[in-house]
């Protein structure tokens, strides 16, 4: 039978209960270490509620001990977190998400990694979130510019730019910008410095950017911790998810960054002076609202010229551990997206030009719409770098591929396209996702609908 022992603080107040279950004896008759768990009552519970609940917890714990669902090993958060992420990776978690989780773990483990899972309380997590919000935690944000002649460094080390691209996994355009002394992200600067065997501060100056983590990033850390505790609850290592009792920061709502109609027109006008390949990539981003990786994963076999539509079923991503790879779409659900006749015509033209180019070189291309000069699929991050430089060349507002996605959704909603159609076109798993992201646009559309109704029905007609 389970035994229940209260634990007291210095003031004599009960703060938790230790529940123990006899485990038996070994072959020599020595008593084995008892099964143990700690249960902490909610401060809002009455004395009677606590008495009933601790008895219930003890009964459940004893039953789980009998059927072998309880381990005597008390695992640290750091060790268990590594196990959970490996488990998620083996069971199909996207490579990009796995990389993001592993990038967040060092910050988390610095605060709670050595603690046993069962000993972590909500206040431990709240202190972690406060530290993450402190100045200096964001070591990858901001922008940087080379403080030394990187071309000379390459020459002295007998290194080619292509070798740096290979070592960093950063696109050749971005590496070229860093070497030429253009401003690049601190993350890129760090990768280039590492590839050259140098410290970041010896090769680059940090010129702008916040050194604090955004509330959204801290909430992402919280969600990872919650996911790890959820698995621990599922495996009955802890009785409840501690993260649910913690208080992460609130993420302020921002209006989405979108282009105005005249800005899109200016982009299209400037685009006509650029290479056909980049016209096609940019027009596909503008005209479909698809994610960057979905466009980079588009193959010719999935272009339906007769019906002017695309079958989006492949997502191209890059991670440091895997390099550039193909995965399923973000929601694992492929979809058809209709395109305008003008984009279809542009695709026909590009397919002919691409085929002629590789035929001249004697290369059999990979079958992707967006290919490098080698015939292989382009680096999935290439559009981000190219569009940023394109905007600077033509004195346009800053351009990021995802901005086209937000622009299309906003325009469609504003024009009265129903939310289900918009959601399916964007490839959201749930309509609620679309409603949440574009709530401010829907609010404006609702006001327009009210004004239209007022004009049609309620206002008195003159004359």
My answer on whether 226 and 174 are in the same domain is: no
My answer on whether 31 and 171 are in the same domain is: no
In a domain, 187, yes or no: yes
Residue 165's domain is classified under what CATH number? Answer: 1.10.260.40
Give the model confidence (pLDDT) of 94-137 as tens digits.
999 999 999 999 999 999 999 999 899 999 999 999 999 986 66
pLDDT given at position 141: 57
What span, in angstroms and rounded, lies between the C-alpha atoms of 449 and 435? 17
My answer on whether 282 and 302 are in the same domain is: yes
Q: How far is CA 25 from CA 21, 28, 328, in A?
A: 13, 8, 52
pLDDT above 90 (res 450):
no
DSSP H or E segment with residue 144: strand 143-146
pLDDT above 80 (res 211):
no
My answer on whether 335 and 304 are in the same domain is: yes
| CB of 138 closer than 8 Å to CB of 131 | no
φ/ψ of 315, rounded to 5, equals -120, 125
Lowest mean pLDDT among 170-184, 294-308, 422-436: 170-184
pLDDT given at position 459: 64
My answer on whether 277 and 392 are in the same domain is: yes
pLDDT given at position 462: 52
Instruction: Return the C-alpha torsion angle 226, 231, 234, 240, nearest 10.
Output: -30
My answer on whether 104 and 236 are in the same domain is: yes
Side-chain half-sphere CA neighbours of 11 within 13 A: 3
Q: Strand, coil or helix: what is 50?
A: helix
Kind of pairing, strands 335-338 and 204-208? unpaired
pLDDT above 90 (res 163):
no
My answer on whether 91 and 233 are in the same domain is: yes
What span, in angstroms and rounded, lies between the C-alpha atoms of 334 and 102? 27
For 238, the token pair is 């802890």
pLDDT above 80 (res 296):
yes
pLDDT above 70 as % of the chain: 92
Beta bridge partners of 8: 14
DSSP H or E segment with residue 315: strand 315-319
Residue 289's domain is classified under what CATH number? Answer: 1.10.443.10
My answer on whether 124 and 164 are in the same domain is: no
In a domain, 149, yes or no: yes
Most confidently predicted of 49-53, 173-177, 411-415: 49-53
DSSP H or E segment with residue 193: helix 186-195
My answer on whether 193 and 325 are in the same domain is: no
SS3 per-residue string spanning 164-190: HHHHHCCCHHHHHHHHHCCCEEHHHHH
Residue 122's domain is classified under what CATH number? Answer: 1.10.150.130
Q: How many domains does the chain have?
A: 4
pLDDT above 90 (res 206):
no
SS3 per-residue string spanning 290-338: CCHHHHHCCEHHHEECCCCEEEECCEEEEECCCEEEEECCCCCCCEEEE
Higher pLDDT: 86 or 170? It is 86
What span, in angstroms and rounded, lies between the C-alpha atoms of 390 and 277? 13
* Interval 275-304 mean pLDDT: 96
In a domain, 419, yes or no: no
CA-wise closest residue to 79 among 118, 113, 120, 103: 113
pLDDT given at position 161: 83
Kind of pairing, strands 315-319 and 323-327? antiparallel
Give the model confidence (pLDDT) of 256-270 as tens digits.
788 988 999 999 999
Lowest mean pLDDT among 102-116, 201-215, 322-336, 342-356: 201-215
pLDDT above 90 (res 138):
no
Q: What is the CA radius of gyration of the chain?
A: 28
pLDDT above 90 (res 297):
yes
DSSP H or E segment with residue 390: helix 382-393
- The CA-based angle 366-369-374, given to 5 degrees, is 45
For 205, the token pair is 């100056």
Which structural domain range is residue 18 located in? Answer: 3-66
In a domain, 351, yes or no: yes
pLDDT given at position 140: 56
| CB of 292 closer than 8 Å to CB of 275 | no
φ/ψ of 37, rounded to 5, equals -145, 155
Sheet containing strand 143-146, strands side by side: 184-185, 143-146, 204-208
Which of 379, 408, 437 delimits the end of a domain?
408
In a domain, 402, yes or no: yes
* Interval 301-316 mean pLDDT: 97
In a domain, 277, yes or no: yes
Give the model confidence (pLDDT) of 33-50 as tens digits.
888 888 889 889 999 999
My answer on whether 33 and 115 are in the same domain is: no
DSSP string, 16-27: EEEEEE---B-T
What span, in angstroms and rounded, lies between the C-alpha atoms of 86 and 433? 28
CA-wise closest residue to 37 among 305, 295, 236, 326: 236
| CB of 190 closer than 8 Å to CB of 143 | no
Q: Strand, coil or helix: what is 207?
A: strand
pLDDT above 60 (res 460):
no
What span, in angstroms and rounded, lies between the C-alpha atoms of 269 and 101? 41
Q: How does residue 292 score in pLDDT terms, banded at 50, 70 and 90?
A: very high
In a domain, 89, yes or no: yes
Q: Strand, coil or helix: what is 226?
A: helix
My answer on whether 334 and 393 are in the same domain is: yes
């Amino acid at each position: 039978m389970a035994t229940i022992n209260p634990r007291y603080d210095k003031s004599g107040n009960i703060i938790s209960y230790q529940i123990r279950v006899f485990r038996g004896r070994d072959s020599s008759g020595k008593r084995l270490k008892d099964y143990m768990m700690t249960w902490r009552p909610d401060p809002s519970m009455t004395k009677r509620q606590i008495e009933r609940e601790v008895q219930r917890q003890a009964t459940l714990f004893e039953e789980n001990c009998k059927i072998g669902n309880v381990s005597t090993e008390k695992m640290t958060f750091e060790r268990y977190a590594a196990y959970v992420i490996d488990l998620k990776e083996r069971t199909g978690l996207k490579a990009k998400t796995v990389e993001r989780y592993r990038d967040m773990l060092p910050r988390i483990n610095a605060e709670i990694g050595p603690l046993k899972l069962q000993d972590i309380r909500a206040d431990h997590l709240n202190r972690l979130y406060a530290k993450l919000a402190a100045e200096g935690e964001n070591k990858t944000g901001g922008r940087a510019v080379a403080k030394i002649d990187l071309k000379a460094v390459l020459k002295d080390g007998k290194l080619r730019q292509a070798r740096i691209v290979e070592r960093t996994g950063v696109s050749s355009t971005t590496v070229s910008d860093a070497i030429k002394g253009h401003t690049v992200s601190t993350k890129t600067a760090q990768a280039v410095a590492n590839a050259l065997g140098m410290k970041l501060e010896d090769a680059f100056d940090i010129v702008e950017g916040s050194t604090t983590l955004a509330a959204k990033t801290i909430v992402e850390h919280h969600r990872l911790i919650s996911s790890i505790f959820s698995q621990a609850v599922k495996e009955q290592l802890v009785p409840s998810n501690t993260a649910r009792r913690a208080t992460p920061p609130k993420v302020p709502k921002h209006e989405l960054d979108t282009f105005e109609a005249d800005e899109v027109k200016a982009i299209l006008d400037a685009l006509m002076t650029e290479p056909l390949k980049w016209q096609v990539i940019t027009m596909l981003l503008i005209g479909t609202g698809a994610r960057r990786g979905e466009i980079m994963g588009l193959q010719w076999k999935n272009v339906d010229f007769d019906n002017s539509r695309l079958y989006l079923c492949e997502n191209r991503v890059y991670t440091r551990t895997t390099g550039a790879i193909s995965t399923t779409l973000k929601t694992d659900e492929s979809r058809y997206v209709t395109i305008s006749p003008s984009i279809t015509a542009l695709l026909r033209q590009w397919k002919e030009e691409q085929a002629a180019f590789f035929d001249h070189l004697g290369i059999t291309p990979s079958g992707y719409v967006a290919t490098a000069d080698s015939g292989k699929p382009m680096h999935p991050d290439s559009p981000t770098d190219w569009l940023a430089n394109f905007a600077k060349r033509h004195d346009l507002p800053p351009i990021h591929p995802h901005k086209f996605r937000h622009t299309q959704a906003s325009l469609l909603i504003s024009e009265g396209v129903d939310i289900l159609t918009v959601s399916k076109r964007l490839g959201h798993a749930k309509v609620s996702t679309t409603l949440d992201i574009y709530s401010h646009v829907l609010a404006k559309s609702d006001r327009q609908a009210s004004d239209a109704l007022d004009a049609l029905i309620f206002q008195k007609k003159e004359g």
